[in-house]
Amino acid sequence: MTDPAKVRRVAVIGAGTIGASWAAWFLSRGLQVTVWDPAPEGEAFVRRFIANAWPAIQQLGAPCASQDAISFHATPEQAVAGVQFVQESAPERTDAKRALFAQLEAAMAPDTIVASSSSGLMMTDLAQDLRTPGRFAIGHPFNPPHLIPLVEVVGGQDTTPETIDACLAFYRHIGKHPIRLNKEAPGHLANRLQSALWREAVHAVAEGVASVADVDAAVAYGPGLRWALMGPHLTFHLAGGEGGMAHFIDHLGEANEAWWRSLGQPTLTPEVCRAIIDGVAEETKGAPVPALAAQRDALLVALLQIIGTRRPAQ
């Protein structure tokens, strides 16, 4: 791939919620965006999503070039013709992505990079049948990509270091906060972290420790506020006072080990699922998902404006 500052044309392959969100962000950074999605109403959905996302993007101070710098194509091969970077966001199925990658590989320019939005699949598995696997990597965003800065970048066993560096540079250039994963793991990193927390949240509900609403409140009005500002290691470093992490481990390390040993191993039985579903319904008081998502996005914008994590284009 060329210098990220020279990337002008990006393809979005697979334009459901994640792909459409990527398209909105790419457009806001002044890029030309080509899109392919097999859904009959795909173009209408993407245009509607972008129009709805645009006010929030403007609030974040993005350049906001034009919503019209986008084109829709009948095949993935047409969509990747002449682009410098491809963001793939097709369904989370290994067989589907392998077949799609083969199509893209045959149609792309030799130096075009493909980054997959896969939330948990590993690139070594996805790229095993490719002729040029070195230019395929994971570029996993967090939902919604047009608001959340994080992108996890990790390669497969055949991904070249140059591809990883190029992905990191490109994402930084368009205002994201990419992180480099040194090795593959199912679910990558951030999903594993939040899954670990949810496991204990499910266990707490299943064991009757607290209601669904109170488990959520324990996070949202407690550690979640700190986690919006810093990660768990830095949080505990500050918890150690002037002695920092060393003091924290010395005084609370043993207690944490004991808590680890007592953590639950819940199973999503029908009864547990019912308790969680009913608990969420009670917590939300029947509010529809779109309304809850809109409230979440408005709060995310306000939070991002306060903490200023967006990186301006270099």
What's the confidence (pLDDT) of residue 312? Answer: 41
Per residue in 239-255, pLDDT (tens digit) is 999 999 999 999 999 99
Per residue in 62-99, pLDDT (tens digit) is 777 889 999 999 999 999 999 999 999 999 999 999 99
Three-state DSSP at 217 gives helix
Per residue in 150-190, pLDDT (tens digit) is 999 999 999 999 999 999 999 999 999 999 999 999 999 99
Q: Is the pLDDT of residue 314 over 60?
A: no
127 in Cβ contact with 136 (< 8 Å): yes
Beginning with the edge strand found earlier in the chain, give each strand of the sheet holding 85-88 in spatial order. Answer: 70-72, 32-36, 9-13, 85-88, 113-116, 136-141, 150-155, 177-180
What's the confidence (pLDDT) of residue 311? Answer: 45
- What number of residues does the chain have? 314
The whole-number average pLDDT for the span 220-232 is: 95
What token pair was written down for 299?
């709060």
24 in Cβ contact with 49 (< 8 Å): yes
| Superfamily classification of domain 4-180 | NAD(P)-binding Rossmann-like Domain (3.40.50.720)
High-pLDDT (> 90) share of the chain, %: 91
Please count the other Cβ atoms lying within 10 Å of the Cβ belonging to residue 161.
Answer: 9
Provide the whole-model pTM.
Answer: 0.92
The whole-number average pLDDT for the span 116-126 is: 97
Tell me how far CA of residue 266 lies from CA of 109, 116, 201, in angstroms: 48, 31, 9
CA 306 – CA 308 distance, rounded (Å): 6
What burial class does residue 198 get, using C-beta atoms within 10 Å of its C-beta: 0-12 exposed, 13-18 middle, 19+ buried?
middle
Q: What are the domain boundaries of the chain?
A: 4-180, 190-229+267-307
- Give residue 1's pLDDT band: very low, low, confident or very high (50, 70, 90): low
